[in-house]
């Protein structure tokens, strides 16, 4: 786990620690000391903590003009025991929404397990972004994670599934990835409305 770094290929475009509107503004990273853990496994020090003991994040890119953010996650997403969505919504999403962000790409290929519970925070988040024609999309989910998200009925609030898996996002610039996902989201929404 300690060798899994957050994606750094877009650092020429955006660094969350340098963005005074970011929830992680002025965060200092110690590249020589591994202190954060997911259970007994140390993780790379570039991951940001937001209140969950098993889930960490990295805001990879934010475009305030186009109103979108791309966020990478690692760990176990556990709403059942540690209410991770509450911490994520309150400490990461809400500050970004206050800055006008309404479209969220959440990269969850390093989310190893998902344990769902109530959907209140997801519903609230969905309603808030919908007011600004926004959306929430999770990409590259592991199959068992996706199954649990379906079982929790999060597909009422989040876009995820086959259309959003196996995306080779690291080879694209952030705006190109966003544009591609927005086309997929719009196509999925048209199918739902028909």
pLDDT tens string 13-37:
999 999 999 999 999 998 778 889 9
Residues 156-186 have pLDDT tens digits of: 999 999 999 999 999 999 999 999 999 999 9
CATH code, 22: 3.30.750.24
Domain count, the chain: 1
Residue 9 domain-assigned (yes or no): no
Residue 88 domain-assigned (yes or no): yes
Q: What pLDDT does residue 194 have? A: 44
Q: What pLDDT does residue 2 have? A: 64
What phi, psi does 160 have (nearest 5°)?
-160, 170
Beta strand 41-42 with 55-63 is: unpaired
Q: What pLDDT does residue 68 have? A: 98
Residue 4 domain-assigned (yes or no): no
- Residue 26: CA atoms inside 13 Å, Cβ hemisphere, count? 2
Measured CA to CA, the distance from residue 182 to residue 54 in angstroms comes to 29
Residue 123 domain-assigned (yes or no): yes
What phi, psi does 69 have (nearest 5°)?
-135, 145
Low-confidence ranges of the chain (pLDDT < 70): 1-2, 190-194
Residue holding tokens 């190109």?
Answer: 176
Q: Domain of residue 138: give its range.
A: 16-193
Residue 68 domain-assigned (yes or no): yes
Residue 180 domain-assigned (yes or no): yes
Measured CA to CA, the distance from residue 51 to residue 90 in angstroms comes to 10
Residue 93 domain-assigned (yes or no): yes
Q: What pLDDT does residue 131 have? A: 93
Residue 3 domain-assigned (yes or no): no
Spell 88-98 as b/e; 16+ CB within 10 A means b.
Answer: bbebbbebbbe
């Amino acid at each position: 786990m300690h060798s899994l770094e957050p994606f750094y290929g877009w650092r020429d475009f955006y660094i969350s620690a340098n963005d005074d509107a970011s929830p992680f503004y002025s965060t200092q990273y110690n590249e020589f000391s591994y202190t954060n853990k997911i259970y007994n496994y140390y993780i790379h020090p570039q991951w940001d903590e937001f209140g969950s003991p098993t889930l960490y994040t990295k805001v990879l890119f934010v475009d305030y003009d186009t109103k979108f953010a791309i966020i990478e996650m690692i760990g176990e997403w556990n709403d059942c025991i540690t209410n991770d969505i509450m911490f994520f919504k309150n400490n990461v999403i809400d500050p970004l929404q206050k800055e006008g962000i309404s479209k969220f790409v959440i990269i969850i290929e390093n989310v190893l397990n998902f344990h769902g519970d109530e959907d209140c925070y997801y519903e609230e988040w969905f309603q808030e972004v919908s007011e600004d024609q926004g959306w929430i999309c999770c990409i590259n989910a592991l199959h068992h994670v996706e199954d649990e998200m379906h079982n929790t009925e999060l597909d009422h609030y989040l876009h995820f599934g086959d259309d959003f898996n196996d995306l080779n996002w690291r080879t694209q610039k952030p705006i190109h990835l966003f544009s591609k996902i927005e086309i997929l989201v719009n196509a999925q929404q048209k199918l739902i409305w028909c």
